[in-house]
Amino acid sequence: MKLGSIKENLEIEKRIAITPEIVKKYKSLNLNIILPKGYGEHLGIFDKEFINEGAEILDNEHKVLSEADVVLQMNLIAEENFEKLKNKQILIGVLNPYSNKEKINKLLEKKINCFSLELLPRITRAQSMDILSSQANLAGYKAVVDSFAYYQKAIPMMMTAAGTIPAAKVLVVGAGVAGLQAIATAKRMGSIVYATDVRLASKEQVESLGGKFLVVEGAENLETEGGYAKEASEEFKQKQENLIKETLKKIDIVICTALIPGKKAPLIVKKDMIEAMQSGSVIYDLAASQGGNTELTKVNEIIDHNGVKIMGDSNILNKLPNSASNLYAKNMFNFVSNLYDKDNKKFSINLEDEIIEKTQIK
């Protein structure tokens, strides 16, 4: 059985789905890896590193797509490559079925078996495959590091003979995986951290990392059975808005991470709230690609509004592509291992397995 992967569109995606370290693991399952020339060169990973671990390098991407039994990608492949795929091939990646519905329907017409890893259920057995958690962890870390780089003051409190520099105050909006890592990173660097989330269960997690949880008066727990945040009522949104508006007056850095799966990101920080912030403050909006958590966020731009910088990268993980690729490739391997029937040496789509059933696009 052959597993293949082709280059992503490097303008929007620098991560890769297969690393040399993971090639060795696939070989241990008697699965062969085929890749096009220069697959990882943009990350400083050269063909000989893949070859040394047992991968086969082919002349072009057309050969990879036509010979592979399973295609492993970061994102959905370009539509121009659909014709190169063969019936009953397996395609695995972050296929984003909510916004790629028409394209995926074309693949289904060709009887391509599509699996989208962002749809994995949040169950214990799927934790090692959870690409949302592994990637969000890095995103939360990098958002804090980049925000601190743009913030033109010291972060920790410093006591000097000339006087005391106060610690920076950070607000993290959304205490999921990215938010919790942002809290931990900001705290380690000496800032005072506040956090807010619609899920009351997050309070204990925030406080365990040294953050201060902002509780909305009369709040109820807005958490789905799958562990994600669900949309809040208008009354809750108004109370949350009032609380955040008052808090933002004393905040230096805001990290926005609030997302609702399959929907536009909730608008939490409005223009008048930003105008109440101190000049020199920084907002990093990790939800930019889904509409943004702030009213002024623009994708892949840094907006300066009355001295407040608002940053909105569409893919912050392009700034950490090697680390992100290593984690993603391991998640992918664990998913493929679950899909592969070692005894019969074939891929088995068992729809009674919750992991397979939830991630397959039909």
Catalytic residue among 89, 130, 151, 290: 130
Residue 29: pLDDT over 70: yes
Question: Can 130 be counted among the known catalytic residues?
Answer: yes
Question: Can 150 be counted among the known catalytic residues?
Answer: no
DSSP helix/strand/coil, 19: coil
Catalytic residue among 47, 146, 150, 228: 228
Residue 232 pLDDT class (50, 70, 90 cuts):
low
How are beta strands 70-75 and 56-58 bridged, if at all? unpaired
Catalytic residue among 73, 116, 133, 147: 133
Question: What is the mean pLDDT of the segment spanning 279-289?
Answer: 96
Compute the half-sphere exposure of residue 288: CA atoms within 13 Å on the CB side of its CA.
22
Question: Can you read off the two tokens belonging to residue 357?
Answer: 């059933």
How do residues 51-81 score in pLDDT, each as one tens digit?
Answer: 999 999 999 999 999 999 999 999 999 999 9
Residue listed under structure tokens 């592994």: 134
pLDDT recorded at residue 345: 86
How do residues 180-198 score in pLDDT, each as one tens digit?
Answer: 999 999 999 999 999 998 8
Question: Can 205 be counted among the known catalytic residues?
Answer: no
Buried b (16+ CB within 10 A) or exposed e, 214-236: bebeebeebbeeeebbeebeeeb
Distance separating alpha carbons of residues 251 and 247, to the nearest angstrom: 7
Residue 235: pLDDT over 90: no
pLDDT recorded at residue 263: 82
pLDDT recorded at residue 329: 98
Catalytic residue among 122, 128, 337, 353: 122
Residue 237: pLDDT over 80: no
Angle, alpha carbons 181-92-330 (nearest 5°): 45
